[in-house]
Amino acid sequence: MAIFGKLAYDAQVDVGDLLLVRFAIAAALLLVVAGATGALRGLPRRSVVAGLAMGGIGYATQSGLFFGALERMDASLLALILYVYPALVMVGAIALGRERASTRRIAALLIASVGTALVLGGAASGSLDAVGTAMGFGAALAYTLYILAGDRVGQGMPPLALTALVCTGATCTFALVSAVRGGPNLTFGAAGWTWLIAIALISTVAAILLFFAGLNRVGPSTASILSTLEPVVTVTLAATAFSESLGVVQLLGGVLVLSAVAVIQWPARRRQASTLNGSCSASNLSSLA
């Protein structure tokens, strides 16, 4: 998604228009799929409102900060900064009493902290954009709050239904922002539309549906661990498409950050199905990134 976003910017697509079109297309398709499969049937009004609010407030904030940061910094560096969110989720869950601190979790937090310091330290050669970096960390924090809130909201709701509602809520927010700014400017060329459609179809709809399909087969822990391939793919594609490169120190920091994610989420022992199901909500929400 970060790669498509950079290409969309090169095609003169505005951030606000990108977000509006992305979520509008994704919401329309997901609502059709959710309606056809019966995922939306019988949902309590309270759950519908909560799902829309998650998208309109939480996910819209995260996406706005992420794509705003993407305007100001390399996609590869932003991907590594964003991936501090699993450690932040762990800290938040412990602070809220939803999880207990353990040696493994504390070790993972220390590893992630050292890795983040190396990522930023390796980029602090004058090319690091302070505002973009702050927005990147803001996106990670917003995503953390979004996941912690959604872990409660999503209980008992089909993941597909929740995703459709989240995207619909985000669409409403960005439509309102666009209206305040005088309406969307969709006069960019065919190249811009190509990258926007790619973001909506490949990086949003297909990514979410495939994640859920895999989740049903391998479980939330394995699915979450496999999702750490996301920044690795971003760094590789950014090097290919934009000749972006990370220094040795940054690469080492990135490896530590991703290692911490694996340490946090790797199952220490086989747990009962009920325990795994209880953690499914947060894992489902992570697929929206």
Q: What is the pLDDT of residues 55-85, one digit of tens each?
A: 999 999 999 999 999 999 999 889 888 988 8
Answer for the pair 146, 51: CB distance below 8 angstroms, yes or no.
Answer: no
Q: Which residue is listed with tokens 């690469």? A: 251
For 135-158, what is the mean pLDDT?
86
Q: Indicate if the pLDDT at residue 273 is higher than 50.
A: no
CA dist., res. 212 & res. 96, Å (int):
27
pTM of the model: 0.83
Residue 281 vs residues 95, 120, 148, 230: alpha-carbon distances, Å: 18, 31, 9, 20
Mean pLDDT of the chain: 85
Q: Pull the structure tokens for residue 285.
A: 């929400």
Report percent pLDDT > 70 for the chain.
88
Answer for the pair 16, 181: CB distance below 8 angstroms, yes or no.
Answer: yes
Q: What is the pLDDT of residues 200-249, one digit of tens each?
A: 999 999 988 888 778 778 766 677 677 778 888 888 888 888 888 878 88
The structural domains of the chain, with segments of one domain joined by +, span: 2-286
Q: Indicate if the pLDDT at residue 269 is higher than 60.
A: no
Q: Pull the structure tokens for residue 32.
A: 């059709």
Q: What is the pLDDT of residues 14-52, one digit of tens each?
A: 999 999 999 999 999 999 999 999 999 999 999 899 999
Q: What is the pLDDT of residues 240-259, one digit of tens each?
A: 888 888 788 888 888 888 88
- As to burial, measured by CB atoms within 10 angstroms (0-12 exposed, 13-18 middle, 19+ buried), residue 243 is exposed
